[in-house]
Amino acid sequence: MPGIIIAAMADGSVAEVKDSLAKVGYLADEPAALVSFLAQRLGKPVLVEGPAGVGKTELAKALSRASGRELVRLQCYEGLDEAKAMYEWNYRKQLLRIQAGGEAGWEDVQDDIFSSDFLLTRPLMQAISSPEPVVLLIDEIDKTDQEFEAMLLELLSDFQITIPELGQISATTMPIVVLTSNDSRELTEALKRRCLYLWLDYPGVEREIEIVRLHAPELSESLTRRLVEVIGMVRALDLKKPPSIAESIDWARTLLLMGAEDIDRETFNQSMSIIVKHRTDIDLVAERVGMKLAEAPSRAG
Amino acid sequence: MSPAASSPYGPRADAGPPGLAAKLLGFCEELRGEGVAVGTSEILDAFAALEQVEWTSQADFREALAATIAKSQDDRRVFELLFDRYFFRAAEAEAVQRGMNEAEEGRGGAEEGEGGGGERLDVDELGEQIRDAMAAGDEDRLRDLARLAIAAFGKGEGSGVVGVDVQRIRRTLGLTAGSQPPTETGEERPPIDREQLTAFERHLRRELERDLIERTQTLPPSRPLAELDRALPTSPTQDLAAVHRAVGQMKRRLATLGQEQRGRRQGGHVDVRRTMRASLETGGVPLRLKYKPKRPRRPEIYVLCDVSTSVTSASVFFLSVLHALHDSFRKLRSFVFIERISEVTDVFEHERDFAVVAQKISSEGGVADVSGYTDYGRVWLEFLTEISDDLDPRSTVIVLGDARTNGRQPHAEVFAQVAERAGRLFWLNPEPKLYWNYGDSVMAAYERHCDGAFECWTTRHLENFVNVVAGGVPAAE
């Protein structure tokens, strides 16, 4: 029942959206909460950009959890085409139909094999034809080519797909659409025009502490703060791949497993591979951050 | 009363037609003036969005507008700059229009709030409070304290030039960025962050401007954003981050351009094996043709960079370009040369820090030769002997240098050989075209053999070059 779902999520204010996201484990900052709120109110897609690992995809997942909607995900890659993203005719079934219905006239068969029974739905089609409203995540849109973007335009502005043989298929329910991009190429104006824009960046110290504590509550407060500060130092370096929020959380859990009480040089060097995953980065981080940390007092002697 | 009409600065000081809609449209108009593409659909979205949020919260109001209007990071930066300025001006224009004057009506609000009364405040005490507020990052409090500071040091007593007054007040308060000397009582004080200090200065500036507007009853003229505020710095000694950003943009553009060029499998070769295999699905009827994938051209790039004294200022820029290129292209070999040539690919690949790279190159690059004068002829000879086997028609050679041979033999014929073996050869000259071929510059001799020679001393030139290389149209100067 869509009414209930909407009541659970879209009714109310920005603060309520923020709360409901927090309840499902996503601490949104003000802009993210506001844009999520607007997306539901205005029924417009959201384009989320930002560096890798700041929780762009997670935002869509959290929206799906918070609203109780199913998440339909389309992972983009180079060479993705409409057969894999929207719909495809089921050739085999069509052939079988032609061979099986020998006695029927060609006219009947022709009408029949181009009906929705012979259509294989792919994520985009699935999202708009779903009887329940869904959250549609189009992940890493910048990985596709421009033609694919152009193909999305109809879906994004009118929530409909045109199939030449069948005509237009309009959405029965209004999906929340989230597009993510790592900014590896400029998206077209036409696409941006149809979306709300949200730039996610690495969170500030206080918010990241909250995030880490939410996911690794057993870690002591002081150690969490230390961890986030060290992560901040690592991110400040010019790395090939700066540590993401997910990696901060992983690191927190690792420290728990190791039973560490403080982040000293030894602990850091042992567990550094959790947050830094490039050989040249490891050298740089060990030199710049590792050296600043104190020697382990008890174990060193 | 209409002081705006009598303003020497013209109609811009007018509050404009009343109402928020007009204000918003004016704001969008200014954004367009700064090159942000704001379409009608975006403006409609903005109005729709504003219906949904509380206008009483400036953050919400601003975010709602930004989400619907500013659709990239660059646009967002311009948006932030303009938003503050535009609505500040709009509010002040309105105030002037209605004849409101804080100096008479609301005087003392901030002072009483701080418990300072009307007396002149203790400078040290105020400085401490500002430090606290900066450490806490409390914007509202900083704003109040900025007003207090202006009041303490005399409204209207200053030079009248806002920038000068801001610095005067800052110095009087003894606020500097960086680590702080301990107080007289010997307490340690936390260092002041440069950004926080800038934030405080911004508040000071704003309040001083407000003051000025009140006194003169006119708004200062609205200027387009200075290029410096938003554009990349364009001097050769610009900072590394800017070059990296420029190269990052270029990389993105290259990625898009590449795709445009590749097109949609036009003229692709049919992959017979895969087509037959796919036809099994459809009972042996090859309904769908499978094409051989087109591999994007991954050329080898050779970059030769002049680091001699005649290009000292430019070579910092070039080295940073090299540094950034190494981030973006994997198959890149780089060389530096003065009298002789030396490969520095390893240095760039193993060292991420630019300062270290520059230092390593100058110390162990093997090019710090006796005279420090470039010998282009010798460089070509050495390059050819060292690399000739690897050069093939798929490789691209880029030379960064001023073509000043210091009177030595230019060996253009050797250069021609290099050009012949390489698929493409480009020359980037850090001197304006006007100076080419003057004095000891032998650019003409080399230019003949290049696929393109470009002047290049700013990031814009660099972008232009990349556009040309990627097959695009050269950007307008």
Distances (CA, A) of A138 to A36, A40, A61: 15, 17, 12
User: Please, which pLDDT band fits residue A241 given cuts at 50, 70 and 90?
Assistant: confident
- Which amino acid type is present at position A192? K
The top-scoring range by mean pLDDT among B77-91, B196-210, B320-334, B409-423 is B409-423
Kind plus residue range of the DSSP H or E element containing A139: strand A134-139
pLDDT at A299 over 70: no
Pairing state between β A167-170 and A119-121:
unpaired
* Spatial CB neighbours of A124, under 8 Å, sequence gap ≥ 6: A74, A85, A86, A87, A136, A152, A155, A161
Q: What is the DSSP string of A163-229?
A: ETTTEEEE-SS--EEEEEE--SSPPPHHHHHTSEEEE--PPPHHHHHHHHHHH-TTS-HHHHHHHHH
- In this predicted model, what pLDDT tens digit does every residue of B392-415 receive, in sequence order? 777 788 888 888 887 788 888 888
pLDDT tens for B11-23 read: 444 445 667 888 8
Task: Give the mean model confidence (pLDDT) for residues B29-55.
Answer: 86
The minimal CB distance from A146 to the residues B49, B259, B353 is found for B259
Question: pTM to 2 decimals?
Answer: 0.63
How far apart are the two ends of chain A, measured CA to CA in Å?
66
What average pLDDT does this structure show over B22-30?
Answer: 88
Chain B CB within 8 Å of residue A220 CB? no
Q: What is the mean pLDDT of residues B287-316?
A: 71
Q: Which amino acid, B264? A: R
Give B435's DSSP letter: G
Identify the pLDDT of residue A71. Answer: 93
A220 pLDDT more than 80: yes
Token pair 């900072």 is found at: B239
pLDDT bucket at B238, cuts 50 / 70 / 90 = very low
Percent of chain B scored above 90 by pLDDT?
1
| pLDDT at residue B247 is higher than 50 | yes
Is the pLDDT score of B259 beyond 50?
no
A186 and chain B in contact, CB less than 8 A = yes
Report which listed range, A116-130, B11-25, B165-179, is most confident: A116-130
**Which of B 446-475 lie inside 8 A of A, CB atoms?**
none
Cα–Cα dist A279/B130, whole Å = 44
- Residue B85's SS3 state is helix
Do A73 and A107 meet the contact criterion of CB atoms below 8 Å apart? no
Residue A203 CA neighbour count, 13 Å, CB half:
24
Q: For residues B36-65, give the mean pLDDT.
A: 86
Q: Is the pLDDT of residue B457 over 50?
A: yes
CA–CA separation, B429 vs B311, rounded Å? Answer: 10
A136/B contact by beta carbon, under 8 A: no
Percent of chain A residues past pLDDT 70, beyond the cut? 92
Q: E-assigned strands of A140-216?
A: 160-163, 167-170, 176-181, 196-199
Mean predicted confidence (pLDDT) in B57-76: 85
pLDDT for position A4: 37
- Smallest Cβ distance to B283: which of A47, A95, A199? A95
**Looking at per-residue confidence, does A130 or B327 come out higher?**
A130
Among residues B149, B148, B31, B128, which one has the least CA distance to residue B79?
A: B31
pLDDT (0 to 100) of residue A73: 93
How do residues A138-150 score in pLDDT, each as one tens digit?
999 988 877 888 8
User: Residue B248 and residue B73: Cα distance in Å, rounded?
Assistant: 13
What residues in A contact B256, CB-CB < 8 Å?
A: 146, 185-186
- Note whether A270 and A211 are within 8 A (CB): no
Closest in B59, B281, B352 to A30, CB measured:
B59
Average of per-residue pLDDT across A120-146: 89
Q: What is the pLDDT of residues B278-288, one digit of tens each?
A: 888 888 888 88
Is there a contact between A42 and B45 if contact means CB atoms under 8 Å apart? yes
Burial B325-347 (b: 16+ CB within 10 A, else e): bbbebeebbbbbbbbbbbbbeeb
Average pLDDT of the residues of chain B: 71
Average pLDDT over residues A235-255: 87
Alpha helix ranges (H) inside B99-138: 109-113, 123-136
Closest by CA position to B67, among listed B32, B42, B41, B36: B42
Average pLDDT of every residue of chain A: 84
Residues in a beta bridge with B404: B441
Q: What angle do CA B315, B320, B326 make, to 5 degrees?
A: 125
Count of CB atoms situated within 10 Å of the CB of A199: 22
Q: From residue B165, how far is each of A170, B88, B201 by CA, in Å? A: 62, 20, 10
Distance CA B142, CA B126 (A): 11
Express each pLDDT in B143-156 by its tens digit: 778 877 777 776 55
State the pLDDT confidence band at A46, using cuts at 50, 70 and 90: very high
* pLDDT of amino acid B345: 80
Write down the ipTM of this complex. 0.79
Chain A, nearest residue to B43 by Cα: A193
CA distance A17 to chain B (A): 12
Tell me phi and psi for residue B21, to 5 degrees: -60, -45
- Tell me how many residue pairs between chain A and chain B have CB atoms under 8 A apart: 93
pLDDT digits (tens, 9 = 90+) for B264-300: 445 568 888 888 888 888 888 888 888 877 655 556 7
Q: What's the start-to-end Cα distance of chain B, in Å?
A: 46
Count other Cβ atoms within 10 Å, centred on residue B11. 9
pLDDT digits (tens, 9 = 90+) for B339-370: 778 888 877 777 666 667 777 776 665 555 55
pLDDT for A301: 36
* Distance between CA atoms of residues B316 and B359, nearest Å: 11
Pull the structure tokens for residue B363.
């110390």
Q: Using CA coordinates, name the residue in chain B closest to A11.
A: B52
Q: Tell me the helices (H) and strands (E) count for chain A, helix number first.
A: 16, 9
Pairing assessment for the beta strands B424-429 and B396-400 based on DSSP bridges:
parallel
